[in-house]
Amino acid sequence: MYSRSNPPSARRRQAAVGRHPWRRLALFALVLSQAGCAVGPDFKSPILPDAAKRGYSESPLPTATASAEQAGPAGASQRLLNGGELPAQWWTLFRSPELDQLIRAALEHNPTLEAAQAALVQTRENYNAASGSLLFPNVNAQLGGGRQRAILAGTNPSEFNVYSATVNVSYTLDLFGGSRRQLEGLMAAADYQRFQTEAAYQTLVANVVTAAVQEASLRGQLQSTRELLKAQEAQLAIVDKQVALGAQARSASLSQGTLVAQTRAQLPPQEKALAQTRNLLATLVGRFPGEGGLPEFRLESLKLPDELPVSLPSDLARQRPDIRASEALLRQASANVGVATANQYPQITLNGSYGTQHTVLPSMDVGNTLWNVTGGLLQPLFNGGALSAKRRAAEAAYRQAEAQYRATVLKGFQNVADSLRAVEADAIALKAQADAESQARESLEVHTRQYKLGGISYLALLDAERSYQQAKIGLIQAQAARYSDTAALFVALGGGWWKQPAAAD
């Protein structure tokens, strides 16, 4: 009978291990590799200084921006929600079905984003390949066969077949953690590419939103310029009749004609900029400019988000992809210090093989069992200081990565501070520009009536027309700035990528 503590299956495994020394070698190598220590620094995520946690600016943020109702949808007041979190699809806050459709197309077909995603897969597979070769023994099977001819003294030539089958095992013990540090560095490289991919995702979305707002702005400016040109041409026709009747001097017609020509000269640059913006949108969504099919954007079709979630300063470093990517590079540099340190220590390699060889003679079949177990130790003794220099270089690279990380964090906080200031200033500027446009329009109407009654000179009317033209174009640009800077704030805060179901922190 067999006891429960030593069943037949266990006894068979023990016997098999005893018969195959290479299995002992593999088990022994794995045990030793787990018992080793990893030299070099153990990476810890940097901690933000207290100054960074206090806020994004010296003065407290306002709870809401200024309101300019006369400026239309772009003049709405926006509330700043401190500690709020962005949705993953933050662009939907503009409530534009055309914009949502365009961004979906860009995310599916943009080649730059596809390249970043392929690079991410590459880094992950490089890690998988390295982990398989560094953590586990290399086991290879070798089969061979041949026919030989032997001539022994005093005998006739004899021909026979030789067959062999061998399993070879090789493993370098990771006693000092060099292999584990290499894998740590490769994992950090994969994390870096992951956050670079996320940054490319956010950049693509931001570029589409910005280009759509730019198109809407240019389309509005172009429409305004055409309307103004039509009014000026009508005014020129009136002035020409007055000159023909002798009621006006020839200089009045020339002045109005000059104003018409100046306004007409503004159309080609605006049309060029609009066409180039459309070409940019086509490229962003992975289309050729000549394909067409893109929606047209106007400022009236966009809704300004009325709430702006503002992440806490203490959370910003975990939410911006560029900061996380810089941290991954810092971790990779830390792992490289460990690799350079481990290379200065002894390396122990174990090798083993087990196999059989058969010699098939005409009258018999001779079989042999072959096995061997060997071990080797490599201890660097003299290399001209190369290993020490490589470690110092790795330490310097770590300090460089650390400085670059701090610079990235500072730049990230600056982006948020600038965007918050821009959102606040845009609201004030739009209110002022709306007031200026309203007053310029009213002034033009008054000057036009006075001129018809002969109360003012024609030069005064020209000045009123110029002022209104500038104020109207300025109003459209101020409206577009509110949309663009709102999108810039969302991107500066990280874009809400961590809210994606597939995002794992």
Position 17 scores a pLDDT of 40
Average pLDDT over residues 251-267: 89
Average pLDDT over residues 273-295: 93
- Out of 13-22, 334-343, 417-426, which region has the weakest mean confidence (pLDDT)? 13-22
Position 410 scores a pLDDT of 95
Q: CA 97 to CA 386: how far, in whole Å?
A: 62
**78, 64 Cβ separation under 8 angstroms:** yes
Looking at the predicted structure, is the pLDDT value of residue 151 above 50?
yes
CATH at 289: 1.20.1600.10
**44, 375 Cβ separation under 8 angstroms:** no
Q: CA 96 to CA 256: how far, in whole Å?
A: 41
| The pairing of beta strand 79-82 with beta strand 307-310 | parallel
The two tokens of residue 345 are 């220590």
Q: CA 106 to CA 98: how far, in whole Å?
A: 12
Looking at the predicted structure, is the pLDDT value of residue 24 above 80?
no
Position 31 scores a pLDDT of 52
**368 belongs to a structural domain:** no
**82 belongs to a structural domain:** yes
Position 27 scores a pLDDT of 53
| The pairing of beta strand 307-310 with beta strand 347-360 | unpaired
Reported as a single tens digit per residue, the pLDDT across 83-135 is: 888 999 999 999 999 999 999 999 999 999 999 999 999 999 999 999 888 88
**170, 350 Cβ separation under 8 angstroms:** yes
Position 9 scores a pLDDT of 42
**21 belongs to a structural domain:** no
Position 148 scores a pLDDT of 79
Q: Which pairs count as long-range contacts for 327-330, CB under 8 Å and 24+ apart, including other chains?
A: 327/45, 327/46, 327/405, 328/188, 328/189, 328/191, 328/192, 328/194, 328/195, 329/188, 329/192, 329/401, 329/404, 329/405, 330/43, 330/46, 330/398, 330/401, 330/402, 330/404, 330/405
pTM: 0.83
Q: CA 304 to CA 421: how far, in whole Å?
A: 17
Would you place residue 476 in the very low, low, confident or very high pLDDT band (cuts 50, 70, 90)?
very high
**462 belongs to a structural domain:** yes
**20 belongs to a structural domain:** no
Non-local (6+) Cβ contacts of 124 within 8 A are 190
Q: Give rounded-to-5 percent helix, strand, coil for the chain.
A: 65, 15, 25
Reported as a single tens digit per residue, the pLDDT across 367-411 is: 788 888 888 888 888 888 999 999 999 999 999 999 999 999 999
Overall number of domains in the chain? 1
**378 belongs to a structural domain:** no
**457 belongs to a structural domain:** yes
**491 belongs to a structural domain:** yes
Structural domain for 94, as ranges: 39-136+174-344+386-499
Would you place residue 164 in the very low, low, confident or very high pLDDT band (cuts 50, 70, 90)?
confident
Burial of 62 (0-12, 13-18, 19+ CB in 10 A): middle
Position 7 scores a pLDDT of 42
